[in-house]
Amino acid sequence: MTTFTFDQLQAAVQDCTGYDLVQRFGDDYDEYVLIDPYGDEDGDPFYELADVEDFIRNNDDVDAYLYKVLTQSN
């Protein structure tokens, strides 16, 4: 389970990297895809927001951004 909403994770990716995070809806699933600065998908889709969070927090700038969001909301 993630602490953050999709919008918060997307903002972190957009503000700290040249990437975008896109949510796509299927008939019985949601998937989350990282889009590189050239508009191409980067890697496989994620099916859980927690997996997105785990992956993007490997970037120090994203991790600091999300920490700031978390501490400001409390």
Per-domain boundaries in the chain:
6-73
59 residue type, one letter: N
Both tokens assigned to 39: 């508009």
**Backbone CA torsion sign across 41, 37, 39, 7:** positive
Q: Are 32 and 50 in contact (CB under 8 A)?
A: no
pLDDT number for residue 27: 87
pLDDT number for residue 26: 86
pLDDT number for residue 1: 64
Secondary structure class of 40 (helix, strand, coil): coil
pLDDT tens for the chain, 74 residues: list them. Answer: 678 999 999 999 999 999 999 999 988 889 999 999 999 999 999 999 999 999 999 999 999 999 999 888 76
> pTM for this structure?
0.90
